[in-house]
Amino acid sequence: MSNHFKKTLFFLIALVSVTFANAASHTYQNNHVNKPISITDPWIRSAPANAPALGLFLRINNHTDQELRLISAHTKGYKRIELHRTIDSHGVMKMLKQTFMPIPAKGELHLKPGSWHIMLIGPERVPSEGEQISVNLKFNDGSAKMIKASVRKGGMMKHHSIH
């Protein structure tokens, strides 16, 4: 194989690689543009069989340039579902009902124990550990996201966002 041919082959491989890399990156960016909101790690804390309320936690990422708001959550088998936030007010833990949850532009809202959470009230049946529960989340831009939250154990109250 002549040196000239080797160089040409190398150049062609490099060109194809760069083209593919660009295409992949472009696809990824397009995906991002097409998905203004992404949800990660949705979970419901496993609770006693007679628990009157359950907590649903997740991470919501807003990829747009504007604040988005989670306005409601829906799933079957509960008396009602509310958006809540726990705050630590001078050592007194207060649970405040929210009309919406703000997700900052290009930012994240982390729903976690001791902070923002979705409250599933009056379960017809408390789900067992390992079950997956479908929940529909609605946002103020008219969009909705169907998620599957897995039921698992959870503790460790992290630092609270408000003091």
Partner 1 sequence: MSTKIFTMIGVVILLAIVLLYSLNTHKDYKSLSSELASAQIMHNPQRPLPDFSLIDQNSQVFDNDRLQGEWSLLLFIYTHCPDVCPTELANMAMLKAHLESQNSAVIPNIVAITFDPLRDTPEVLKTYVTHFDKTFVGVSGETQQIDQLVRGLGAYYERVIYDDEGKPVTLKKHEPLPDDALEKGYIINHTARIYLISPDGQVLAGFPTPHKVDEMAGDIKRLIQAFEK
76 binds partner 1 (CB under 8 A): no
Query: What is the DSSP code string of 94-124?
Result: EEEEES-EEE-TT-EEEE-TTSEEEEEEEES
Q: Which is nearer to partner 1, 24 or 96 (CB)?
A: 96
Q: Do the beta carbons of residue 135 and residue 149 sit within 8 Å?
A: yes
Paired with 101 in beta bridges are: 70
CB count within 10 Å of CB 96 equals 11
Task: Out of 93, 105, 146, 162, point to the residue binding partner 1 (CB under 8 A).
Answer: 93
Q: β-pairing, 132-139 with 68-74?
A: antiparallel
Q: In terms of CB distance, is 36 or 114 closer to partner 1?
A: 114
Which of 63, 69, 102, 114 is in the footprint of partner 1 by CB under 8 A?
Answer: 114
Q: Which two tokens stand for residue 142?
A: 């008219």
Other CB atoms within 10 A of residue 133 CB = 20
CB of 112 to partner 1, least distance (A): 10
The reply on whether position 55 binds partner 1 by CB under 8 A is yes
> Residues 7, 26, 32, 94: which binds partner 1 (CB under 8 A)?
94
Q: Quote the least distance from Cβ 90 to partner 1, whole Å.
A: 9
- Which residues in this chain contact partner 1 in the complex, by CB under 8 A? 45, 47-55, 84, 86, 88-89, 91-97, 113-114, 117, 119-121, 153-160
